[in-house]
Amino acid sequence: MLLFKHILYTSPLDNEHCDSIFHLVELCLRQNYFTFENVFYRMEDGLGMGNPLSQSFAEIFMSFFERKLVFDNMNNPYRENILFRFRYVDDVIVCWTGDRDELNSFLCWLNSLHLNINFTMELEEDSEIPFLDLKLKRLNNRISFSIYRKPTQTDHIISFSSSHHLSQRLSGLRFLVHRLFTTPLSSEDFQSELNIIRHMAVRNGYDVGWVDALVRKEDIKRLNNEASILQQHTPNSKYMRLSYIGPLSTRLGNVFHNHDIRVAYKSPNTLYNLLVHNKDSVPLLQRSGVYKLTCGDPNCNVVYIGRTGRTLQQRISEHLRSQGMDNCDKSIFGRHLRLNNHPFDPEKDARIIHPSGFGLRQSVLEEIEIFCHIDDVSMVNLNSLSTHVFPRLFDVLKREPNVEGIVTSED
């Protein structure tokens, strides 16, 4: 945080904005606790996985470490041995002009600069060295490139028989073809890599014609002017996500496409979602969203549909607070429990129908659920309804003789 604070306060922003940004970022980074088997843990060092700020702050630190502590450090005794260097996240390639002993000494010095930074080193063999997904080779005072694959890498991509939209199935081949054209390969290496891509396609159920079609498309893109390609995309394009369940989703996507809406397909059921559950689930009462309360009396069919941006436990406590106060009618559900002396167990009689944060989506989901429960919903907060989905729903509910409404402040 000291590094970020220094960068922030030396920026053109005034101190008032710097103070606000710094305290907000500090608050976000301190939310680095998690639960495991009902025990709370807090990270004492490092950045939390999944925090949207972690990647940015890791890059800020690595950039500072590389620039200030190593290559711009006047006390670095090995500066003259570094001909050039390039870094991608935490992978660094360096061209070294000294001998092997000096290189080992440089690595020891590098790892002594920070307690939590520990670099490992890989040296070139036969004038070749891998870096990321490339293999670099020194050849006649120049560097040639080829595609590098780890020994453990498999040839698996999304199978052609998989229940994915065609654009998703072709994404793996599309990436490989795009890399083929954007890497400066020799004609021999280009043809060798193209043969590997064709082999991978056949092994995963694709016809070689798909690869040839992607190659032609990529070749045409290279021949076109890049500026004209950018002009074809309108800045006001609309996007939407659609679950892919087969050809029906494709036909539905074509309908949206005819109305200038671009569709991104997603797979609702994956092996990961079905098999991997490595996080403790959030307790029901600690969630927010559209909820349903049911009267605990077995002979009573009263149901309440509501929404909350806070935890369901907080919202239920407000309903029950009205139950215990004779002159408090802030909750029609609590008033019902009080007047009829009916029981209510939050653990059994309450559930979240749609987990979501407070906002338009939650409001729309609430109206949909009220519409779906129109025959059995007997209580609803009329003030929380709008005209997002069903413009006449509000008037319909007011005319229903079995629906009791009360105007309260929105949750």
pLDDT per residue as tens digits for the range 75-110: 888 888 888 888 888 888 988 888 889 999 999 988
Same domain flag for 7 and 105: yes
**146 vs 331, which has greater pLDDT?**
146
**Is residue 61 assigned to a domain?**
yes
Q: For residues 355 and 365, give the distance between their C-alpha atoms in angstroms, rounded to a whole number.
A: 10
Same domain flag for 170 and 101: no
Same domain flag for 338 and 372: yes
What is the Cα 400 distance to its own chain's centre?
A: 43
Q: For residues 193 and 350, give the distance between their C-alpha atoms in angstroms, rounded to a whole number.
A: 58
Question: What is the helix (H) or strand (E) element at residue 338, kind and residue range?
Answer: helix 332-340
Q: For residues 207 and 221, give the distance between their C-alpha atoms in angstroms, rounded to a whole number.
A: 22
Sign of CA dihedral 37, 38, 39, 45: positive
3-state helix, strand and coil shares in percent for the chain, rounded to the nearest 5: 45, 20, 40
Helices vs strands, H then E, count in the chain: 16, 14
Q: For residues 2 and 9, give the distance between their C-alpha atoms in angstroms, rounded to a whole number.
A: 11
Q: Is 367 exposed, middle or buried (0-12, 13-18, 19+ CB in 10 A)?
A: buried
**Is residue 159 assigned to a domain?**
no
**Is residue 410 assigned to a domain?**
no
**20 vs 35, which has greater pLDDT?**
20
Same domain flag for 395 and 289: yes
Same domain flag for 245 and 296: no
**Is residue 127 assigned to a domain?**
yes
**Is residue 33 assigned to a domain?**
yes
Please tell me the predicted confidence (pLDDT) of residue 85: 86
Q: What is the pTM of this model?
A: 0.61
Sign of CA dihedral 391, 392, 398, 402: negative
Same domain flag for 311 and 264: no
Determine contact, residues 309/357, Cβ cutoff 8 Å. yes
Q: pLDDT above 70 covers what percent of the chain? A: 85
Question: What is the helix (H) or strand (E) element at residue 307, kind and residue range?
Answer: strand 303-308
Q: 3-state DSSP call for residue 143?
A: strand
Strands of 188-270, DSSP E: 238-243, 261-266
Report DSSP letters for 7-52, one per residue.
HHHTSSS-HHHHHHHHHHHHHHHT--EEEETTEEEE-SSS--TT-T
Count: domains in the chain: 4
Q: Is 151 exposed, middle or buried (0-12, 13-18, 19+ CB in 10 A)?
A: exposed
Average pLDDT of every residue of the chain: 81
Same domain flag for 269 and 292: no
Determine contact, residues 393/385, Cβ cutoff 8 Å. yes
Q: 3-state DSSP call for residue 93?
A: strand
Match 């005819």 to its residue by tokens.
258
**Which residue from 265, 260, 211, 252 is spatially nearest to 235, judged by alpha carbons?**
260
Q: For residues 191 and 185, give the distance between their C-alpha atoms in angstroms, rounded to a whole number.
A: 9
**Is residue 60 assigned to a domain?**
yes
Please tell me the predicted confidence (pLDDT) of residue 115: 83
pLDDT band at 233 (very low <50, low <70, confident <90, very high): low
**Is residue 342 assigned to a domain?**
yes
Tokens of 207: 């016809």
Same domain flag for 129 and 29: yes
What is the Cα 131 distance to its own chain's centre?
A: 27
Same domain flag for 219 and 260: no
**Which residue from 248, 247, 241, 245 is spatially nearest to 265, judged by alpha carbons?**
241
Q: For residues 163 and 169, give the distance between their C-alpha atoms in angstroms, rounded to a whole number.
A: 9
Question: Highest-confidence range of 259-263, 265-269, 383-387, by mean pLDDT?
Answer: 259-263
Q: For residues 259 and 243, give the distance between their C-alpha atoms in angstroms, rounded to a whole number.
A: 19
**Is residue 232 assigned to a domain?**
no
Same domain flag for 376 and 291: yes
Phi, psi for 140 (deg, rounded to 5): 55, 50
Question: What is the helix (H) or strand (E) element at residue 351, kind and residue range?
Answer: strand 350-355
Same domain flag for 59 and 131: yes
Instruction: List, for residues 286-315, the tens digit of each pLDDT value.
Output: 889 999 998 888 888 788 888 898 899 998
Same domain flag for 40 and 131: yes
Please tell me the predicted confidence (pLDDT) of residue 32: 79
Indicate the residue type of 325: M
Q: For residues 373 and 18, give the distance between their C-alpha atoms in angstroms, rounded to a whole number.
A: 50
Question: What is the helix (H) or strand (E) element at residue 226, kind and residue range?
Answer: helix 226-231
Domain that holds residue 209: 166-225
